[in-house]
A and B are shown apart, each in its own frame.
Chain A
Amino acid sequence: MDKLKYISTESYYEGIIIEVTDAAVVIDFKGRLGQLKVPRRMVISNNDLKVGQQVGFLMTFPEVISEEIDEDYAESAKRQLEARRKAEKRNEK
């Protein structure tokens, strides 16, 4: 955490749940500012999660903390991204 230079940039955001599976929740930031996909256990709710519910959270701006490139991580994450895109495309057809 000490690596952040702008540590107190956290501000309040709201979003809408647009997808719920047994494992994950996709949240669309209000104002079409992006999407966030998190495991279910990262979302706190009083009742069962439903598509369309609104969520609120604090977030800071991500800051680049190191110029170092983590090739292994990036490669496998990219492979995942491509696999998911492929799956989405096939579902559209």
Chain B
Amino acid sequence: MSITNETAKQHAKDNAITCCRFEAGTVVEPSNLEDPNIIPDLEDSRLLEIPENCLKIGEVLGAKLTKTLDALTPITPDVVEGYTSMEEEKSVDPVTPVEPVAPIGNLSGQTVKIHIGEGRDINLEIPLSIAGSINQSASNQAMTTTFEDKAEEKAEAQEKVLRKLVRKHFKIDKVELAEETKVDGNTLYIRKDVCEGAIDSQNLVVDMKLDIIDKDRYSEYSETIMDVQPIATKEEGEIGEGVTRVLDGVVVIVTGTDEDGVQIGEFGSSEGSMDRNIMWGRPGSPEKGEIFIKTEVKIKAGKGMERPGPMAAHDATDVITQEIREALKKADESLVVDSEEFIQKRKPGRKKVVIIKEIMGQGAMHDNYIMPTEPIGTIGAKANVDLGNVPVVTSPLQVLDGCIHALTCIGPASKETSRHYWREPLVIEAMNDDEIDLAGVIFVGSPQANSEKFYVSRFLGMTIEAMDVDGAIITTEGFGNNHVDFASHIEQVGMRGVPVVGVTYSAVQGQLVVGNEYMDAMIDNNKSSQGIENEILSNNCLAPEDAIRAVAMLKAKIAGEDIKEPERKWNPNVKLNNVELIEKETGRKIELEENEQSLPKSKKRREIYEVEND
């Protein structure tokens, strides 16, 4: 298959291979060359072997073949004459940068003095009439510079604080069952019969157990983990502002099955021993050493696959969490061990950026509660499936204050738990970056059918158009048909001329199912060594290292820098190269996350592993 002039230009630096048989004497044109996009396939299938001295497309165009070549022959210097070597061009000494020359001062008489420190092929032809006005334009330039300087100063002065959020931390190192739910010192007491009320609150819930797991019991069996939730409550103000109290050292874990023992949601279930299924320390997962308040909800048989089933498990668990929240509200102020302040600022004059988070909206276990009255609560919230999955704009502080209660099956390593949003690294990174102005965070659901996907995507496009942003980062969780709308969202933003970066788990298994011309800047969240889904909680979720790469990538794209085309197959080195580049440019050390290799292996696996090494 021959190529066009445009393709030849784009691929000037790719290898030149003939597409058909051509006689000696043929002058090489794009139509004589094979499409560089299919060359790697030909190489893989061993139809083609490319010698080291193969010439590039840009070198052979216009040259004459000295031998008759068969189809799919690499063009080398010995079969062609009159080619222009690109390497020769490279051999030119690099021009050393010259100190900037001061603007020309007063002109005297009729002379124009131009000094060029080092240069090649420079022709200057300046009519005297123009040369005479150089003085004026030079000072214009100087004036503009000062004006810009002032504008920048002014912009910084205008930085506007929209709202503040204070997080007060209470340290818990012991959880016990007792007569009454209360926070006393560093101990959290939970009422013994707290489950009864929780069971009664939901028709679909037939039984419920509460278990307190400390680090000595991590290796025990657990039903599938449906969510990891911080325990937090509002002391003052609404979600996203005021004061929030949070318990450190303890998390709520929702698990459940139906009466027959079938895991709720069934897919991506992570039942098994906890220490082999949890990737510690990810934004969405527990920290090693934390105490789990684990509910095991039993719902009516066969209800685990319909939306109300998993929702009932979450709602019942939240009855217990709410009782702890009430106790936390009453806890003595002197127990506060740490206090964090988050400030939401608008920074005029900086590049206005929006984060778009695509969340699941396909049905049961692919859903989220948005904007409860308490952080990560359920009361007062609406499910994004019920909202029609349309875009919802929130403030970064609302996200960090628990405006999302995740109902997704979080078993797959790439799904985001409630705690993930509470510690959302991309929101924190973008909020703290002084070079950009984070305008807000948009949540958009991912419905099942393509027709609905495009329906919500068009709304997202219009939202972005109305916001007049300079850049956007779009993230998605999991993989599958949500990549259809992920691609569509990127297109809707990109076609409006807004630079856009996509963030998703992709690697080997989550390869994108569709693509478009705007998807040229992508960040892969993969951390598993093999690039696959490995049922380890939060392993392949967005982590701080990915957030840094995404923001750096967006800045590069806004600045109009070239982004290299992706390699044909997943190559983990692409990420490492980018990390190195960012570290070099910013002088900031990026800590890479550990992956599943740091978790204990099963006894059997260890034995076999060791035997193999003997």
> A21, B305: Cβ atoms under 8 Å?
yes
Check A1–B508 contact: CB distance below 8 A: yes
Decide yes or no whether A68 CB sits under 8 A from chain B: yes
Please determine whether A24 and B305 come into contact, CB atoms closer than 8 angstroms.
Answer: yes
Complex Cα gap A69–B302 (Å): 31
Cα distance A40–B262 in the bound complex, in angstroms: 18
Chain B residues near A91 (CB-CB < 8 A): 302
- A90 touches B (CB below 8 Å): yes
Contact status of A46 and B451, CB under 8 A, knowing A1-B508, A22-B363, A68-B605? yes
Bound CA span A93–B446, Å? 38
Q: How far is the CA of A68 from the CA of B602 in the complex (A)?
A: 11
Taking CB atoms, residues of chain B closer than 8 Å to A72 are: 272-273, 276, 602
Say yes or no: A22-B305 contact (C-beta < 8 A), given A68-B608, A72-B276.
yes
Q: Is the CB of B364 within 8 A of A68?
A: no
Interface residues of B (CB under 8 A from A): 221, 257-258, 260-263, 265-269, 271-273, 276, 301-302, 304-307, 360, 362-366, 409, 446, 448-451, 478, 480-482, 484, 508, 513, 602, 604-605, 608
Contacts of A44 in B (CB 8 A): 450, 481, 484, 513
| Given A23-B409, A68-B608, A76-B272, 10 more pairs with CB closer than 8 A | A40-B363, A40-B481, A42-B481, A43-B480, A49-B448, A68-B605, A84-B260, A87-B302, A90-B260, A91-B302
Q: Is the CB of A39 closer than 8 A to any CB of chain B?
A: yes
Is A71 a contact of B602 with CB atoms below 8 Å? yes
Partner of A47, one of B449, B604, B605: B449
Cβ of A87 and Cβ of B272 under 8 Å apart? no
Closest chain B residue to A66, Cβ basis: B608
Find chain B residues with CB under 8 A from A23 CB: 265-267, 304-306, 363-366, 409
Q: Which residues of B contact A48 (CB under 8 A)?
A: 448-449
Q: Which residue of B lies closest to A69 (CB)?
A: B604
**CB contact list, A56-93 vs B, under 8 A:** 68-73, 76, 79-80, 82-84, 86-87, 90-91
CA distance A86 to B259 in the complex (A): 10
Residues on A with beta carbons closer than 8 Å to the beta carbon of B605: 68, 70
A sample of 24 cross-chain residue pairs with beta-carbon separation below 8 angstroms, ordered by A number, consists of: A1-B508, A21-B306, A22-B307, A23-B267, A23-B304, A23-B364, A40-B448, A41-B366, A42-B481, A44-B513, A45-B450, A45-B481, A46-B451, A47-B449, A70-B602, A70-B604, A71-B602, A71-B604, A73-B272, A76-B272, A79-B261, A80-B266, A84-B262, A90-B301
Is B480 in contact with A83, judged by CB distance below 8 angstroms? no
* Residue in B268, B271, B409, B484 whose Cβ sees the most chain A Cβ within 10 Å: B271
- Bound-complex Cα distance A43 to B605 (A): 34
Give the A interface residue count (CB, 8 A): 33
A 3-25 to B, binary, CB cutoff 8 A, 1 in contact else 0: 00000000000000000011110
**A17, chain B: closest CB distance, angstroms:** 13
CA distance A48 to B276 in the complex (A): 37
B262 touches A80 (CB 8 A): yes
Give the distance in Å from the alpha carbon of A38 to the alpha carbon of B412 in the complex: 13
A68 CB to closest chain B CB (Å) equals 5
For A90, what are the chain B residues with a Cβ–Cβ distance below 8 Å? Answer: 260, 301
Q: Which of B269, B272, B450, B608 interacts with A46 by CB under 8 Å?
A: B450
A41 and B608 form a contact (CB under 8 A): no
Closest CB in chain A relative to B225 CB, distance in Å: 13
How many Å lie between the Cα of A84 and that of B260 in the bound state? 7
Closest residue on chain A to residue B366 by CB atoms = A41
Query: From B306, which residue of chain A is reached at the shortest CB distance?
Result: A22
B257 to A, closest residue via Cβ: A83
- Knowing A41-B480, A68-B605, say if A47 contacts B268 (CB, 8 Å): no
A40 touches B366 (CB 8 A): yes
Query: Nearest chain B CB to A59's CB is how many angstroms away?
Result: 14
Q: How far is the CA of A76 from the CA of B304 in the complex (A)?
A: 17
Instruction: Decide if A24 touches B366 in the complex (CB within 8 Å).
Output: no
Q: Is the CB of A39 within 8 A of B267?
A: yes
| CA distance in complex: A42, B237 (Å) | 41
Chain A residue with the shortest CB-CB distance to B412: A39
Closest A residue, CB atoms, query B307: A22
Residue of B nearest to A87 (CB): B260
Q: In angstroms, how far is the closest chain A Cβ from the Cβ of B254?
A: 16
Task: Give the distance to chain B from A23, nearest Cβ to Cβ, in Å.
Answer: 4
Contact A42 B262 (CB under 8 A): no
Once the chains are docked, how many angstroms separate the CA of A43 from the CA of B478?
13
Q: Of B221, B260, B446, which contacts A86 at CB under 8 A?
A: B260
| A56 CA / B189 CA spacing, docked (Å) | 55
Residues on the B chain within 8 Å of A49, using CB: 448-449
A68 to B366, CA, bound (A): 33
Q: Which residues of A contact B508 (CB under 8 A)?
A: 1
Q: How far is the CA of A88 from the CA of B261 in the complex (A)?
A: 12
A82 to B260, CA, bound (A): 9
Chain B contacts of A47 at CB under 8 A?
Answer: 449-451
A residues in contact with B307, CB < 8 Å: 22
Contact B449 A39 (CB under 8 A): no
- A72–B266 alpha-carbon span in the complex (Å): 17
A73 to B271, CA, bound (A): 9
B481 / chain A contacts, CB cutoff of 8 Å: 40-45
Chain A residue at smallest Cβ distance from B270: A76
The 6 closest A-B CB pairs, nearest first, are A22-B364, A22-B363, A83-B261, A41-B480, A21-B305, A87-B260
Kindly list chain A residues whose C-beta atoms are within 8 Å of the C-beta of B306: 21-23
The CA of A68 and the CA of B449, in the complex, are separated in Å by 40
Contact (Cβ within 8 A) B480 A45: no
**Residue pair A83, B267 in contact (C-beta under 8 Å):** no
By a CB distance below 8 angstroms, the chain A residues around B513 are 44
> Inside 8 A of B360's CB, which chain A residues have their CB?
41
Q: Identify the closest chain B residue to A40 (Cβ).
A: B362
